[in-house]
Homo-oligomer: A and B are copies of this chain.
């Protein structure tokens, strides 16, 4: 399949390489140069612009930092839209619902698919991502060979692309909610003299056997918030996107509000470079056992 590919960060590079390995014909572009050497060595073509990457392609896949970056490669005289072919733009970035609405409208029916992914860079490298896709049935069908090359499973959410973005934001909200819940529980337990590791052993050994609790539980027990696997400001950005969607649809989300406050506090007090799980610090995970009344 002829695929234009834009955005060669950690995630993007790993995904693009899997596309090449799977035999797709990839033309790649990245705003900052020098990120595409491995990819080109593996057989990709270096495109001169987003427009060039899109020219003649069946799919143009983008994996970028935020709304602004995706719009920057889409619009304008060197943008994807200017290529004027019949490529489908497949946006894998975690962007806002309103931005996805604008892109859907700009591309027209059937020419835009939102396909954000779940998984960390290692999962991307191992082609083990989960792909959450929305768009017309025909468009999703055309994307299958690409999705198969990069992930272990894809989910078809619905016919309107922004719905996939909403699901992705919900997923990140759920992860952070689980971290917050663990952090508060560990804080309470620790204040009462129960070791955090002991609480985690019970939780993951009984009802909370999902990997998310094991991975982040260990981070909380060790208070290992640096280096960031996913930096707190990026987590805050995603929660802000969820908040914007909630504002637009008049949906109260008090737990989301709590997460955003704790992220802000963690960044204010710990710095911009901590992991998003550092919201646990704002949830009080560093307070030790109490020695007065209420202690054990």
Residues of A within 8 A of B (CB): 97, 101, 118, 130, 132, 153, 155, 157-158, 160, 162-163, 166-167, 169-171, 173-175, 177-178, 180-182, 184-185, 187-189, 191-195, 198-199, 201-203, 205-213, 236, 240, 242-243, 245-258, 260-262, 264-265, 267-269, 272, 282-284, 287, 290, 292-296
Contact = CB atoms under 8 A, between A and B. Distances in A.
A166 B198 CA distance: 12
B250 A254 contact: no
27 contacts: A155-B202, A158-B193, A160-B296, A163-B192, A163-B193, A163-B296, A166-B188, A167-B199, A173-B184, A173-B185, A181-B181, A184-B253, A184-B256, A191-B250, A207-B211, A207-B212, A209-B209, A209-B211, A210-B213, A247-B294, A248-B294, A251-B268, A252-B262, A252-B282, A254-B258, A255-B258, A265-B284
A206 B201 CA distance: 22
Given A187-B251, A188-B251, A207-B118, A132 B202 contact: yes
Contacts of A101: 296
B261 A247 contact: no
5 closest cross-chain pairs (CB), A and B? A257-B257, A248-B294, A177-B181, A252-B261, A191-B249
Contact of A265 (B130, B185, B252): B252
B191 A182 contact: no
Contact of A206 (B130, B251, B292, B296): B130
A284 B118 CA distance: 26
A253 B187 contact: yes
Nearest to A97: B192
A110 B253 CA distance: 42
A240 B260 CA distance: 13
Nearest to A119: B206
Contacts of A207: 118, 171, 174-175, 210-212
B174 A205 contact: no
Most buried by B among A187, A193, A202: A202
Nearest to A290: B249
Most buried by B among A170, A208, A242, A283: A170
Given A250-B267, A257-B257, A261-B253, A167 B202 contact: yes
